[in-house]
Amino acid sequence: MKIMMNEKIQQLIKQAGADSSGKWMSIEQAHKLAELIINECYIAVENTNTSHVYTTFDEGQFKATIIKCKEAIKKHFGV
């Protein structure tokens, strides 16, 4: 069974120094790939749509939530 990979995942695999065939990956490359994926999570959280933020209070709550999300990701993965 062939699994189709998301283009972004393929790009991250290449950035980690591995090939996207899925045949092998060194421990160092797997570690680098994990770091790249975690960084992409940070970026996704940071770029969350703010169209629902209407007041300065909402904005403060939103920013605090973004910070907490990023801290939770960091703590969960131990980075």
Domain boundaries, the chain: 7-43+52-77
CB-based burial label for 78 (10 Å; 0-12, 13-18, 19+): exposed
- Would you give the distance in Å from CA 42 to the centre of its chain? 5
pLDDT, one tens digit per residue, over 2-60 is 556 688 888 898 999 888 776 788 899 999 999 999 999 989 998 988 888 889 999 99
Q: What is the pTM of this model?
A: 0.74
